[in-house]
Structure formats: structure tokens, C-alpha cells
């Protein structure tokens, strides 16, 4: 049985959101490590080396946005991160596009932060069973 903790990559251009997520995740025993970056470009350059189990990705960021980053993630790999879109842009068109591109969850920043711990728990359970 795999007891290794999860690695989480946080991608958001708002420092306070990153800090809030890091605090939330630091309280979860399932998470062994978090990395936070403020751009999709930074995230893409570290993906191969860091190999996150979970990515929390914002949509609106300067430069490449979260939807563009999602398009660049290889969906056909056997091991790919669980993608949580966390955004203020909850327009149904954004949600549909993100889910079509392979996002696993689409959460509203203003009300869904409390869902993240249960998502992490589900991912860890699935990893223990599979891994």
C-alpha cells in the first residue's frame, strides 16, 4: 500500500489566494508537499520535474491563462494530475470548456474553498488503491 503523501501545485496570480491554499493544504495529512507559482508559464516549466498529483489552477492570469495551460497538459498520459479549476469566472461556458479539456473539478473561489480537503482525500484514497 502506498502511503506517500500527495504533491500539489498551486497556480494563481493572486498572492493571498496562494497563501490561503497553502494554509489549507498544510493542515491535511494527505499532502506531503506544495509548490506555488504565479503564472501558467512557470507551472508548465516545472511540471515534468515536480510531477504533481493535484493541480489547483486559476483561469484569469496575465500571459497564458488557465484554460490555455489546460490545453497544453497531456491528457493521454497514464499518470496526470487531478486538475481543480479554482476561479471567480464561474460562467457555464468556462466550466464546460475546462471540463471538456480534462479538468476534474470546477470550483468557485468565493464559496468552494471548503471542498478542497474532501477532494484531496478522494485523490489520496484513489492513489492508495491504485498505487
| pLDDT per position as a tens digit, 35-80 | 999 999 999 999 889 999 999 999 999 999 999 999 998 765 667 8
CA distance 123 to 131: 11
Q: Say which DSSP state 80 is in.
A: -
Q: What is the pLDDT of residue 2?
A: 39
Q: Which residues, in sequence order, are CB contacts of 100 under 8 Å at separation 6+?
A: none
Number of domains in the chain: 1
Please indicate, yes or no, if residue 103 is contained in any of the structural domains.
yes
Domain CATH number, residue 52: 3.40.50.2300
Please indicate, yes or no, if residue 13 is contained in any of the structural domains.
no
Residues of the domain holding 116: 21-130
If you average pLDDT over every residue of the chain, what do you get? Answer: 90
Across the range 120-126, mean pLDDT stands at 91
Would you state the torsion angle of the CA atoms of residues 11, 65, 75, 97, taken in this order, to the nearest 10 degrees? Answer: 120
Please indicate, yes or no, if residue 12 is contained in any of the structural domains.
no
pTM value? 0.91
Please indicate, yes or no, if residue 41 is contained in any of the structural domains.
yes
Please indicate, yes or no, if residue 116 is contained in any of the structural domains.
yes
Contact 20/8 with Cβ under 8 angstroms? no
Query: Which residue has cell 491528457?
Result: 75
Contact 67/100 with Cβ under 8 angstroms? no
Comparing 2-11, 26-35, 86-95, 104-113, the range with the smallest average pLDDT is 2-11
Please indicate, yes or no, if residue 54 is contained in any of the structural domains.
yes
Residue 128 has pLDDT above 70, yes or no: no
Q: What is the pLDDT of residue 1?
A: 31
Rounded to the nearest angstrom, the gap between the alpha carbon of residue 79 and the centroid of all alpha carbons in its chain is 14
Residue 130 has pLDDT above 70, yes or no: no
Contact 89/117 with Cβ under 8 angstroms? no
Residue 8 has pLDDT above 50, yes or no: yes
Please indicate, yes or no, if residue 11 is contained in any of the structural domains.
no
Amino acid at each position: 500500500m502506498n502511503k506517500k503523501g500527495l504533491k500539489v501545485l498551486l497556480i494563481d496570480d493572486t498572492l493571498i489566494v496562494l497563501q490561503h491554499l497553502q494554509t489549507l493544504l498544510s493542515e491535511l495529512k494527505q499532502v506531503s508537499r506544495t509548490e506555488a507559482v504565479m503564472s501558467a508559464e512557470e507551472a508548465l516549466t516545472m511540471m515534468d520535474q515536480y510531477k504533481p498529483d493535484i493541480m489547483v489552477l486559476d483561469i484569469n492570469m496575465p500571459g497564458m491563462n488557465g484554460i490555455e495551460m489546460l490545453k497544453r497538459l497531456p491528457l493521454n498520459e497514464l499518470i496526470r494530475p487531478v486538475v481543480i479549476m479554482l476561479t471567480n469566472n464561474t460562467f457555464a461556458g468556462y466550466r464546460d470548456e475546462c471540463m471538456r479539456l480534462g479538468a476534474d473539478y470546477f470550483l468557485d473561489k468565493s464559496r468552494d474553498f471548503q471542498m478542497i480537503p474532501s477532494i484531496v482525500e478522494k485523490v489520496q484514497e484513489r492513489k492508495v488503491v491504485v498505487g
